[in-house]
Amino acid sequence: MQRAVRFLVLLLVGLALLAVVGYVVLARTTRAWFEHDLALRSQLAVSSARQSLESNWSSGRKQLSGALADITRDERIMAAAACTPQGELLAATDSYPAEFSCRSVLERMRHEAATGAETWSMSPELPSGRVNLSVTMLGPPAAPLGAVVLVHDLSYLSRREVATRNFLVVAFFVLSLAASVITLVAARIAWRGWTLELGRALTGEATTEFQPLVRNVRELVERLASEREQEVRGGRWSPARLRSILTQYLNGERVLLLANRAPYIHERTDGGVEVLHPASGLVSALEPVMRACSGVWVAHGSGSADRQTVDAHDHIRVPPGEESYSLRRVWLSEEEENGYYYGFSNEGLWPLCHVAHARPVFRAADYEIYARVNQRFADAICDEVDSDDPIVLVQDYHFALAPRMIRERLPRATIIAFWHIPWPNSERFGICPWREELISGLLGASIVGFHIQQHCNNFIDGVDAFMESRIDRETHAVVQGSRRTLVRPYPISIEWPVHWLEHVPPVDEARSSVRRELGLAQDTLLGVGIDRLDYTKGIEERLAAVDELLMRYREFRGKFTFVQLAAPSRTKIPRYRELNERVQAVASEIDRKWSSDGYRPIVLLREHHEPTSVFRYFRAADLCYVSSLHDGMNLVAKEFVAARDDEQGVLVLSQFTGASRDLTEALIVNPYDLRQASDALAAALRMPKDEQRERMRSMRRLVSEFNVYRWAGRMLVDAAELRRKERLTGRLGTSGIFGRSARA
Ligand code: ADQ
């Protein structure tokens, strides 16, 4: 439209210039025509009266005046005069102007006669208006009788000029008006066509010819979105910043979170009811997000005292003492827990998604229970909503089917499904008998998130291989009918600063107290590993690397101890029980090989530790070794970095973790390569303090900026953008609130 206005202004200026130039050229041409016409008329008039004039020239004033009066019968000839060659007036008609004396006229005529001209004319201005004067010689040139002076009226010429000018001005306005109307109508038609096409493009129905433009529009929309992200990105992400995203972009909507594990588990103990914080990367990451956002966390109530601590609607306000959000517990029977959690989730999906050489077990009965339990949790989420377009965060492989189930009940919901573990390539994923159902379940979400791009690519390849859908590789989206699911990487992280650290002693104190408690000399070099006891974490390979270190680097024998905190996990599953035994056996074997006079190379603490205890170990250590065989992200690596506010300590990190993409200042190793891993452990123990500081400082800067608030914030900003687009294309309507009664 702006272009059309610009075009119109240029057109009008052009027309105006054309009119002015046209007027000047026309005026000059018509004047020249008229003057030529007058000269001819004069000659004709004098020629026809020549005989009578010449015969009466000397007969007296009266006769001569009569002949002159005959000439002025022509309507355009105002007056006439007869002059002697000496410049005396012989006779003149009554209206002859006094300004043109014979003397002045003949003086000029003499000058013209020298050029051989017989007639001569000029157009002087009189108070009464412009006139034309023409002089014609009579008699032979050698002895002229005199001259006849004719005065022509030019007022009609001025009148014609005014009329022409008026005509041109009117023509200019008419033409301008017509041009404006035509331009605006044309622009309007083009704009309408464009908007219709844009609408079709946004709803995914664009024609192929329109594709380049659609791409431009999409690029623009995306650029605006990323500019908006830039805008919100400025400064460090914090709980306050995350809250402002909710209020600014999502109208303060609260968040509904679905995760299997609850952040607070109440256990009955001899001393009464105790609150436990589970060893779970998902919980460590999401709990600070829920504190910041408020809302409801729906999870399995697995603690022995969970039922006695909830209200009549199975809710409890948490965190204890700092209540900021609700925890809704869902109860599962033992059969449900076995089929859904231990069976399909952890004997099927967990080994399927990790390259850790454990064979997945797929039982149809487990899958049926998995589907049923997903439905129960999806229903629990729908019970908690207070609008028909809530924001729901569905977490992890326990709930692959829930996004579609929620979508069926709440078509306008914004559902973000985040998959915390790797997504395998299609060949691997294809072995799952329910591969289509799982992918279809996830595609019920508005956004499917993974930690890294590679997992997104694997997922999209899986969709391509097993589903009927269109893949928009440019925007990383899967399109099914009119619905679009974005597939994006969101690398997860930890809170910054870590609130647990407020209750953890400083590094010096932690170093000495931990060594004291473990019965180690104060100058012992200490390595630490902290994990759930899971075969994907590479604990056996880690201990073997310590063995290799002591074997290849004598200097560390008797000096270096590795302490492994291993929280028992999924102990109902045989593979985990087996791992438990194997880790114990490997640790005992290394101890047997290298211990002497109270020196212990390995300290294995197979128990759950509360977060403050975990962070105390991080502070006490000289190095932390994360040796996962395959890990979506791995938060232990980031927690170690967060704990080291003294900027000391070295992180040795497996290249098969998502974290190795972020923490490039760590010593990155292949945990299967024991020689390389033991070299890295030795390098870490020998590393000068300055180098430790430099590496640690750089990693701390990264983790502090790329913290978990950023992770959640980026997803919410994308969700907000999606909601805005859906509202624009009419898929979400304008007001989503249907009242609190929905909750009852
Ligand atoms: P997890 O497999 O649970 O997470 P991780 O990310 O390392 O792995 O998180 C473990 C959490 O448990 C950490 O917060 C750690 O402090 C805690 N923890 C470990 N051992 C403990 C112990 N002995 N006692 C108490 N607490 C302990 C999954 C994926 C990861 C991904 C996260 C988050 O497998 O790849 O990083 O989700 O998305």
pTM of the predicted model as reported, rounded to 2 decimal places: 0.71
Residue type, 712: A
Q: Answer yes or no: is pLDDT of 136 > 90.
A: no
> Does residue 232 lie in a domain region?
no
Q: Is the CB of 289 under 6 A from ligand 1?
A: no
d(CA 634, ligand 1 centre) in Å: 6
User: Dihedral sign, CA of 384, 387, 389, 390?
Assistant: negative
Ligand 1 mean position to 642 CA, how many Å?
15
Asked whether 279 lines ligand 1 (CB < 6 A), one says yes
Q: Is 259 near ligand 1, meaning CB less than 6 Å away?
A: no
**Ligand 1 and 633: CB distance under 6 A:** yes
- Identify whether residues 477 and 611 lie together within a single domain: no
Residue 282 C-alpha to ligand 1 middle, in angstroms?
Answer: 7
Residue position matching structure tokens 């004067």: 133
Q: What is the DSSP string of 33-64?
A: HHHHHHHHHHHHHHHHHHHHHHHHTTT-HHHH
Are residue 140 and residue 265 in the same domain, yes or no?
A: no
Helices 281-293 and 635-643: angle between axes, nearest 10 degrees = 70
Judge if 571 and 702 occupy the same domain.
yes
CB burial readout 725-743, b (16+ within 10 A) else e: bbbeeebbeeebeeeeebe
Q: What is the pLDDT of residues 647-699, one digit of tens each?
A: 999 999 999 999 999 999 999 999 999 999 999 999 999 999 999 999 999 99
Nearest atom (ligand 1) to Cα of 659 = 36
CA atoms lying within 13 Å on the CB side of residue 706? 19
Q: Whose CA is nearest to atom 26 of ligand 1?
A: 279
Q: pLDDT by residue (tens digit) across 374-416? A: 999 999 999 999 999 999 999 999 999 999 999 999 999 999 9
Average pLDDT over residues 309-317: 98
Q: Is residue 283 a contact partner of residue 275, using CB atoms and an 8 Å limit? A: no
Structure tokens at 236: 């460090």
Return the number of other C-beta atoms located less than 10 Å from residue 496's C-beta: 21
pLDDT given at position 202 = 46
- Based on the domain organization, do 683 and 588 belong to the same domain? yes
At residue 221 the predicted structure's pLDDT band, cuts being 50, 70 and 90, is: low
Ligand 1 atom 2: the closest Cα is on which residue?
281
Phi (first) and psi of residue 314, to 5 degrees? 65, 30
Both 663 and 700 in a single domain? yes
What is the CA(283)–ligand 1 centre distance, in A? 8
Q: Enumerate the H helices of 320-400 as residue ranges.
A: 334-336, 350-353, 364-384
Residue nearest to atom 32 of ligand 1 (CA): 281
Whether 527 and 488 share a structural domain = no
Cβ–ligand 1 contact at 530 (below 6 Å):
yes
Closest atom of ligand 1 to CA, residue 422: 35
CA distance 54 to 51: 5
Q: Are residues 461 and 534 in the same domain?
A: no
CB 707, CB 493: distance < 8 Å: yes
Cα 471 to Cα 305, 440, 454: the distances in Å are 47, 14, 16
Q: Which of 416, 627, 633 to mutate to test the pocket of ligand 1 (most atoms within 8 A of CB)?
A: 633
Say what angle helices 435-442 and 453-466 make with each other, to 10 degrees: 120
Do 276 and 342 belong together in one domain? Answer: yes
Q: What is the pLDDT of residue 330?
A: 98
Assign 43 a pLDDT band (cuts: 50, 70, 90): confident
What residue's CA is closest to ligand 1, atom 18? 279
Confidence of residue 41 (pLDDT cuts 50, 70, 90): confident
The β-bridge partners of 624 are: 528, 651
Ligand 1, residue 631: give the atom nearest the CA.
35
6: in domain? no
Q: Compute the distance from residue 570 Cα to the ligand 1 centre, in Å.
A: 14
CB burial class (10 A; 0-12, 13-18, 19+) of residue 312?
exposed
Choice from 282, 625, 653 to test ligand 1 binding pocket (greatest atom count within 8 A of CB): 282
Q: CATH number of the domain that 71 lies in? A: 3.30.450.20
What is the whole-number distance in angstroms between the Cα of residue 94 and the centre of ligand 1? 123
Strands 89-92 and 77-83, by their bridges, are antiparallel
Q: Specify whether 470 is located in the same domain as 587.
A: no
19 pLDDT more than 90: no
pLDDT of 210 higher than 50: no
- Number of structural domains the chain divides into: 3
| Nearest ligand 1 atom, CA 626 | 7
Averaged confidence pLDDT in the chain: 87
486 & 530 share domain: no
The strand pairing partners of 563, in sequence order, are 528, 603
Same domain flag for 466 and 527: no
Task: Compute the average pLDDT of residues 424-437.
Answer: 98
Residue 737 pLDDT grade (very low, low, confident, very high; cuts 50, 70, 90): very low
CB atoms within 10 A of CB 155: 12
CB 714 within 8 A of CB 226: no
Residue 93 lies in a domain: yes
- The answer to whether position 215 is within a domain reads no
Find the CATH number of the domain harbouring 283.
3.40.50.2000
**Does the beta carbon of 421 lie inside 6 Å of ligand 1?**
yes
Quick check: is 596 in a domain? Answer: yes
Between the CA of 455 and the centroid of ligand 1 the distance, in Å, is 19
Residue 635 beta carbon below 6 angstroms from any ligand 1 atom: yes
Which of 123, 139, 158 finishes a domain? 158
Among the candidates 125, 158, 191, a domain finishes at 158
As a whole number of angstroms, the distance between CA 724 and CA 730 comes to: 10
Is the CB–ligand 1 distance for residue 337 below 6 Å? no
Q: Are residue 469 and residue 588 in the same domain, yes or no? A: no
Say yes or no to pLDDT of 119 above 80. Answer: no
**Does the C-beta of 604 come closer than 6 Å to ligand 1?**
no
- Helix (H) or strand (E) holding 126, with range, is strand 125-126
DSSP 715-740: HHHHHHHHHHHHHHTTSS-S-----G
Long-range contacts of residues 687-693, Cβ cutoff 8 Å, at least 24 apart: 687/650, 689/648, 692/647, 692/648, 692/649, 692/650, 693/647, 693/648
Q: Which residue CA neighbors atom 22 of ligand 1 most closely?
A: 567
Please report how the helices 402-409 and 435-442 are oriented relative to each other, as an axis angle in degrees rounded to 10.
50
pLDDT at 716: 93
Q: Which domain holds residue 575?
A: 517-706
